[in-house]
Chains A and B, each alone.
Chain A
Amino acid sequence: MSWLIRAALVAALLHITPAVVLVKRPDAVQALLPGAEAYFAREVHLSGADAHRLHEVVDWSPEDGVLAFYTGRSGSTTVGALEFVRVDTPHGPIEVAVGFKPDGRVRGVIVTKATVEMKPWVLEAVTGGLTDQYRDLKSGDTPAGAAALAGRTGNLAVYIAGEVDKGVTRALAAYGAFYNHVRT
């Protein structure tokens, strides 16, 4: 009987809990592109060489080799751009929305999705001021959300901050290399 109990325990530990939406995408878009009246998707289909270059820098490749940026405009003025970046963790995926100002600095970061298991860790990290740590970062900077939370929040909130750091790192690298530097 003990092997059955052990098997059930292992199964429970390995089972990824369902995904939950923490912030709906339209709400994240409105928060990160304030005042925008029109939106445009800018899909960058990476060549094999560029995909390899990005992978070398941040150890990540976007799904299907396509980077999707969303630009917001108010009249003829560009309000900014944003990306949704997925980070796969052993506890399931999280999704991070990273918004950029027209000068290329980070306007804000919102964790839009997590799993049932990770939701309380994310909420603790956000309440602890995680997303404030990313404001005004620019391409080439290193996000340090986890380091900022260490000692101020629980270990699991620090862990999740490290995963959000990865998402922001990927967004910064992708934005810096491909948002304005590819001809349409």
Chain B
Amino acid sequence: MLYDLRRADARIKWLVTCLLATFGLSYIFGALMVSLYAGFTPARVAATYAGPEMSMPMPPETTMVVNRPMSMTDFAKPEVHAVDTNLLIQDTHVHVPMYGLIAGALGVVVLGLSVPRAWAFGLITLLFAAPWLDFAGMWLTKFVSPRFAILTLLGGWAMGAGYLVVTALAIYQMWRSPKGAEP
């Protein structure tokens, strides 16, 4: 195949390196944002996406009051960030096209790697399947069962893993392997 990152012009290698570095930076902040708003455990993801729509509490027949003492620390407890259906529609609309473009860009990097065809197919599939899993998990958590939160976590980790594998291979093959180091 003509497109081989190991033998590519240094300017192309630099472009790919900058692209991967930029994606890496955005992934770091993406992970920080997830830790702030959804968390990394199935329980927290389920609380974020399943929300009250899953439980649908029935109103009492007559209005009733429950009194309980509060401490100042109760006021300081973090609230669960809930994503309702409207927000999830918007998030899906905004994020999925962008994830597609990122997967496409990383897929183009994969095409320039010197790896067996089966590996390349596998990596490209992983790059696109990860965001599908991520968002499928969110929708299934909301409308089917909170247990599907695990899919969102798997999707998120798969996105990170796909990026790391592609980046490690690309950086090594472009700058460190004997053929890649040739001018």
Q: Which residues of A contact B (CB under 8 A)?
A: 7, 11, 14-16, 18-19, 24-26, 29, 38-48, 50-51, 63-65, 70, 178, 182-184
Q: Is the CB of A29 within 8 A of B75?
A: yes
The interface residues of chain B lying within 8 Å CB-to-CB of A39 are 69-72, 74-75
Cβ-neighbour of A184 out of B61, B67, B76, B94 (below 8 A): B67
Q: Top 9 nearest A-B pairs by Cβ distance?
A: A39-B70, A25-B75, A48-B59, A184-B65, A47-B63, A43-B66, A50-B63, A26-B75, A11-B94
B15-37 CB contacts (< 8 Å) to partner A: 33, 36-37
Q: Is the CB of A47 within 8 A of B87?
A: no
B164 contacts chain A at the CB level, 8 A cutoff: no
Q: Is the CB of B57 within 8 A of A64?
A: yes
The interface residues of chain B lying within 8 Å CB-to-CB of A41 are 66-70, 74
Given contacts A11-B93, A25-B75, A184-B65, contact A51 B70 (CB under 8 A): no
Q: Is the CB of B52 within 8 A of A45?
A: no
Cβ-neighbour of B52 out of A14, A64, A184 (below 8 A): A64
Identity of the chain A residue whose Cβ is nearest the Cβ of B79 in the assembled complex: A25
What distance in Å separates the Cβ of B89 from its nearest Cβ neighbour in chain A? 10
A163 and B34 CA atoms in complex are apart in Å by 28
B64 contacts chain A at the CB level, 8 A cutoff: yes
Query: What 1/0 flags go to B46-58 for Cβ under 8 Å of A?
Result: 0000001000010
A19 and B36 CA atoms in complex are apart in Å by 10
What distance in Å separates the Cβ of A21 from its nearest Cβ neighbour in chain B? 10
Q: Is the CB of A26 within 8 A of B59?
A: no
A64 and B75 CA atoms in complex are apart in Å by 19
Interface on chain A toward B: helix, strand, loop, or mixed SS?
mixed
The interface residues of chain B lying within 8 Å CB-to-CB of A18 are 33, 36-37
The interface residues of chain B lying within 8 Å CB-to-CB of A65 are 57, 59
Q: Number of B residues contacting the other chain (C-beta, 8 Å)?
A: 29
Identity of the chain A residue whose Cβ is nearest the Cβ of B57 in the assembled complex: A64
Given contacts A47-B59, A48-B59, A65-B59, contact A42 B67 (CB under 8 A): yes
The interface residues of chain A lying within 8 Å CB-to-CB of B71 are 39
What distance in Å separates the Cβ of B80 from its nearest Cβ neighbour in chain A? 11
What distance in Å separates the Cβ of A4 from its nearest Cβ neighbour in chain B? 9
Identity of the chain B residue whose Cβ is nearest the Cβ of A64 in the assembled complex: B52
What distance in Å separates the Cβ of A56 from its nearest Cβ neighbour in chain B? 15
Q: Is the CB of A182 within 8 A of B63?
A: yes
Query: What 1/0 flags go to B85-129 for Cβ under 8 Å of A?
Result: 001001001100110000000000000000000000000000000
A18 and B38 CA atoms in complex are apart in Å by 12
Most central of A45, A51, A182 by chain B CB within 10 Å: A45
The interface residues of chain A lying within 8 Å CB-to-CB of B66 are 41-43, 45
A26 and B94 CA atoms in complex are apart in Å by 35
B60 contacts chain A at the CB level, 8 A cutoff: yes
What distance in Å separates the Cβ of B104 from its nearest Cβ neighbour in chain A? 12
A47 and B93 CA atoms in complex are apart in Å by 36
Given contacts A7-B97, A11-B97, A18-B37, contact A44 B67 (CB under 8 A): no
Given contacts A39-B71, A41-B68, A65-B57, contact A47 B76 (CB under 8 A): no
The interface residues of chain A lying within 8 Å CB-to-CB of B33 are 18
What distance in Å separates the Cβ of B37 from its nearest Cβ neighbour in chain A? 7
Identity of the chain B residue whose Cβ is nearest the Cβ of A51 in the assembled complex: B59
